[in-house]
Structure 1
């Protein structure tokens, strides 16, 4: 039997508005992002809930949270919008420059991404890369709605990977870095508990590495950190650490060039338990364009050089 037609009263504006409110957990923020009034956003969400016949958001909390029905609708709405965007892009590709939209976490920005972008740029003037950075949850939300073609970085927690595929490229640990000449570097018998004396820059609670960092610190009895600065900004972390006695806890890839050039120094800490996979995250329900597949191959090649291995061509 053929599927019943979609209610014609459900418009694209309903879907777009719903996805933004779900992504930001806020009517106010969604209104700013969509450049419409807050009452207009509220009315649009109410209309959609009436049309689908159920509440999509739990309004009992300060931030709007999806109900179980809303969570299901979010996944299908995101998939539908992404498919529509891919269709529009496919029609336009024959006459326009192809842009590969890449979500990149800071961990790959210093070592893997520059080489990949350089190699991809040599393929001709009809392709370009657009690099979008931000927290992992934000980038995955863009991937789910088709606003980016792929995400490069650490693998997210399993509950956030529904509908996504992950291709492991290499593994990476967390490091603790300080400025050259830091007092901790002069300690003849360094012990991890010594960092409690100094201000600590920690990854934000929603970052991919925060859980592994918390587990490592707790396992080593570190409970009194002066961790009153939380950041995933590599520019701020780098500047602040070089100007103060702060200890910066961050993914190794973010500061690899800094430590190689002697601008920052890693403390002699065994952080092996924080090792995690870094790779490519893509959608399972849509294929990649030729340009996106080419960019992914450039990333694989750059990652293989980082590992010091020979890459076997896979496309």
Structure 2
């Protein structure tokens, strides 16, 4: 790395992008606006790239600025986390991030994100919980969780919460290989089978309800309501040979390995954003910022976005 780049260059650049204003960034950092402009110009000269454009509406990232920002934020957050961690070691405490994950995220994204987070913050404790949307968002509002990763819920379930989109996914219907319904193309075919169906407070329940009604199938009378990956997988593969309706992320690996078969039923209308939910009134702590970065990096590595 170019030794001319100092911490002040990174702090100024990141703060300007967050505030979208040189004036507001200067106030936040207790600097003058000319000093902020000079520091930013120095960084652009060192990098031989224009990072921001300025106009009457404020500032905007260039393509080069967008690339640099990602790594500048990670580096700055990691440094802050390091300083915080030293203080926590001295006081006998450790940084802790409590994350709630909906089943599709817990199965698909979170294992890799947890490993990335560990590399960003080796001394931090990551606490993970999974469950349905309503349960986890209630725990987020109460302060038991720092963030929830999963499907964007209905408007009434998102009161007091922010949402940052990561990628999109849709619902699938899966059965065990060789199941009599393996080639079914219509939801009405599920009527005579036991179905593992999304629970009432799950983010996908209303989408699945609408899809079933639109297909003329109605809500399956012979259903067990659950979003548990372990339970659904057991019911589909064991003697019950149940039909399982679930977010694709929960069963992506099973489908790829041939353990489950996705029915050729068009459910793209159930597609929706998966992202990070947090309390709107709180500024993320350094460890929380690193977890957000780890999730985004896992999405990039898996090619989900």
Q: Give the TM-score band, short-chain normalised.
A: 0.5 to 0.7
Deviations 1:194-241 (A, max 9, x none): 221211110111111100000001001002624331111110100110
Q: CA deviation at 1:291?
A: 0.8
Q: Does 1:174 align with 2:174?
A: no
Q: TM (normalized to structure 1)? A: 0.65
* 1:302 has 2:301 as partner: no
Q: 1:256 aligns with which of 236, 247, 252?
A: 252
Q: Which residue of 1 aligns with 2:235?
A: 240
Distance 1:206 1:147 in 2: 19
Is 1:156 matched up with 2:148?
no
Residue pair 1:170, 1:307 contacting (<8 A) in 2 also:
no
Q: Paired residue for 2:262, among 250, 262, 266?
A: 266
- Aligned pairs for 1:115-194 (under 5 A) are 115-185=112-182, 190-194=185-189
Alignment check: 8 A CA contact 1:101 1:149 kept:
yes
Unaligned runs of 5+ in 2: 1-84
Unaligned runs of 5+ in 1: 1-88, 310-315
1:230 to 207, 221, 225: 225
Which segments of structure 1 move beyond 6 Å, counting only runs of 4 or more? none
Conserved? CA contact 2:175–2:241, under 8 Å? yes
Structure 2 residue corresponding to 1:203, chosen from 178, 198, 209 = 198
CA–CA distance in structure 2, aligned partners of residues 297 and 123 of structure 1: 9
Instruction: Name the SS of the counterpart of 1:259 in structure 2.
Output: helix
Secondary structure of the 2:222 match is strand
Query: Does the 8 A contact of 2:106 with 2:130 survive in 1?
Result: no
Q: 2:281 aligns with which of 250, 270, 285?
A: 285
Partner of 2:272: 276
Q: Distance in 2 between matches of 1:192 and 1:136?
A: 24
Q: 1:132 to 1:224 in 2, by over 3 A?
A: closer
Question: Within 1, Cα distance between the matches of 2:145 and 2:299?
Answer: 20
Question: How far, CA to CA, are the matches of 2:219 and 2:203 in structure 1?
Answer: 22
C-alpha displacement at 1:164, in angstroms?
1.1
Whether the aligned pair in 2 keeps the contact of 1:169 and 1:304 (CA below 8 Å) is no
Q: What secondary structure is seen at the aligned counterpart in 2 of 1:207? A: coil
Give 1:275 deviation, angstroms.
0.6
Count of aligned pairs between the two proteins: 219
**Residues 250-288 of structure 1, C-alpha deviation per residue, up to 9 Å, x if partnerless?**
011011111111111100000011011100001111111
Q: Deviation per CA, 1:64-92: give whole Å up to 9, x if none.
A: xxxxxxxxxxxxxxxxxxxxxxxxx9x85
